[in-house]
A and B are shown apart, each in its own frame.
Chain A
């Protein structure tokens, strides 16, 4: 009957209860939508940045990240890539070789990274081909050609069709030199790539740099970053069986990870503020209700109800409010978010801003169990905890003074 009493008590002032519920529902719905949009934008940001060049994960020789030497190589990269592609989460695995060279065009010379890629696979892992602004991307069968970043092309005064001299050290320590023809210029919008990267077919790379069928890494891609994140244990097992290491996205793009964490930290402040405001609204309402019913509580004590039982009843009223509000909030918030998730949220006029992160101007909220439940549960739990205040107040009541209350 305590449940029945608490339930009926919250409907004694239907308008007040409705207002309290509306504030919980709105706050829950807002947190669901904002959290889902935030997660969606983070996912878009991560997937777009990683898709540009890194891939969603990479298999590398041990210590390669700290000392990217040609000598740290994978012996049979094609076989390993094929093995990685047997995993359901993996849509493509592309072997790559990488070294650093001096690029020259006439009197101009610049340092650059040169990446040897297999054009037939690389386009399944990287979206660099979509960033070609002049000419074309590499294609299977290409030899002695390169695509170059727009910044580097500008610095070296190169255009499509020009020849470029490449000078570096081969794996065996000998001098490696080559002349390649520029077939395409890419502009990703990421200065560190556009000013410092060229790509050339891996077969030519292996020949010039004495790699003999070897690669320095295998970039792995899946349909969604989350798929690869979920498959990390299997990927790690394969890598370790080959004496290699697996690097996940946070290791490949630590700066992006830090930016996201920083943004998430600031947004926590927003969510906490929202929760605090809602909790104070509900607490204020309940304290008002407790004050109004002090005489009644005195009567309940007189007929034998313990103060702790009355406190529990008041707490139960709060939990009912929090539960109903959070439940309705989840239904409402998840409904709206799912609707937007299906259509996308277009940020008209923000294309230039978003392109800095290689992001589309249409974002899709990511509605999942976490984004749907985290906010409403935090609100409901905070309200439940705030119930300690009226509970403590009721427990301190003395029957006679309570019955004399106005």
Chain B
């Protein structure tokens, strides 16, 4: 298996007044192609900071991060935006769909940013929505969809660009038990069928139980990295 994401000695400090507050302290981590991993840890342990750095949303104070072979710490803002567009898919706790676009358009939007031809992006949007079981709801706007349906659209959007990795920040936190279970199953199936790597920051034990790799961060470092092949049934 090839390494998709690699962190070496990643540290991140935030300035609060006159004090530097460390969020990550020399963290090392490698995610391989096809990983279906959960990232856990107490509040303030650095989960979201790590996701932001891996996703090119934030820059580490120290250390090196490579995504699909690209050293992202030295990239400029536009190059980082392109990397996020082409290599990384994001799923947020609050779905974060574009409210004025329909479900299909939300998915298509990513492909348009990638300058995919019109016919191809329309077909791919329909295909992705079918993959997340939202066939027939393509024209609905986010406000006309349930929370679970919105998160499925977010999953379809995250996968539309065929990214190297999907980063999810508490993807089930706003969903009821049944919807959360369905979403986990969906992401697990997509991981298996497409081979795309998933890393999910979560407190949800149901998610953790279904992932094949479980990483725990404590005080800005990886305190546990457990591989559990066969966990995602």
Question: A: which residues have CB within 8 A of B?
Answer: 1, 4-5, 8-9, 11-12, 296, 299-309, 399-400, 403
Contact = CB atoms under 8 A, between A and B. Distances in A.
Contacts of A303: 84-85, 90, 109-110, 113, 157
12 contacts: A8-B100, A300-B98, A301-B84, A302-B55, A302-B92, A302-B96, A303-B85, A304-B81, A305-B113, A306-B82, A399-B57, A400-B58
Most chain B C-beta atoms within 10 Å of own C-beta, residue among A1, A300, A302, A306: A302
Interface in B85-117: 85-86, 88, 90, 92, 96, 98-101, 105, 108-110, 112-114
Contacts of B78: 306, 308
B108 A1 contact: yes
Given A1-B108, A1-B112, A399-B57, A296 B98 contact: yes
B113 A304 contact: yes
B8 to A, nearest CB: 21
Contacts of A400: 52, 57-58
> What is the predominant secondary structure among interface residues of chain A facing chain B?
helix
Contact of A304 (B92, B98, B108, B110): B110
Size band of the interface chain B makes with A:
20 to 34
Contacts of B84: 301-304
Contacts of B112: 1
Contact of B109 (A1, A12, A301, A302): A1
Contact of A8 (B52, B58, B77, B101): B101
A306 B86 CA distance: 13
Contacts of A1: 101, 105, 108-109, 112
Contacts of A308: 78
Contact of B81 (A5, A296, A299, A305): A305
Contact of A299 (B86, B96, B108): B96
A350 to B, nearest CB: 53
Contacts of B114: 304
A400 B77 CA distance: 13
A238 B124 CA distance: 74
A21 to B, nearest CB: 18
The 6 lowest CB-CB distance pairs between A and B, nearest first, are: A304-B85, A8-B100, A299-B96, A399-B57, A304-B84, A306-B81
Given A304-B88, A309-B113, 7 more contacts: A8-B101, A299-B96, A301-B81, A302-B84, A304-B114, A304-B161, A305-B113
Contacts of A403: 57
B97 to A, nearest CB: 9
A307 B84 CA distance: 13
A306 B57 CA distance: 12
A299 B82 contact: no
B100 A9 contact: yes
B233 to A, nearest CB: 31
A306 B96 CA distance: 17
Contacts of A399: 52, 57-58
A5 B100 contact: yes
Contacts of A305: 81, 85, 113
A307 to B, nearest CB: 7
A401 to B, nearest CB: 9
A12 B157 CA distance: 22
Given A1-B108, A400-B52, A400-B57, A302 B90 contact: yes
A299 B92 contact: yes
Nearest to A2: B112
Most chain B C-beta atoms within 10 Å of own C-beta, residue among A296, A304, A306: A304
Contacts of A299: 92, 96
Contacts of A304: 81-82, 84-86, 88, 110, 113-114, 161
Nearest to A306: B81
A363 B81 CA distance: 61
A306 B98 CA distance: 16
A209 B218 CA distance: 115
A369 B109 CA distance: 41
Nearest to B163: A304
Contacts of B85: 303-305
Contact of A307 (B58, B77, B157, B161): B77
A309 B112 CA distance: 12
A305 B109 CA distance: 10
B154 to A, nearest CB: 10
Nearest to A401: B58
B96 to A, nearest CB: 4
Interface string B44-58: 000000001001011
A34 to B, nearest CB: 38
A5 B90 CA distance: 20
A12 B110 CA distance: 21
A5 B55 CA distance: 25
Contacts of A4: 101, 105
Contacts of B108: 1
A299 B112 CA distance: 16
Nearest to A304: B85
A75 to B, nearest CB: 77
B89 to A, nearest CB: 8
Nearest to B157: A303
A306 to B, nearest CB: 5
A183 to B, nearest CB: 82
B120 to A, nearest CB: 14
A400 B55 CA distance: 11
Contacts of B98: 5, 296, 300
Nearest to B105: A1
A14 to B, nearest CB: 12
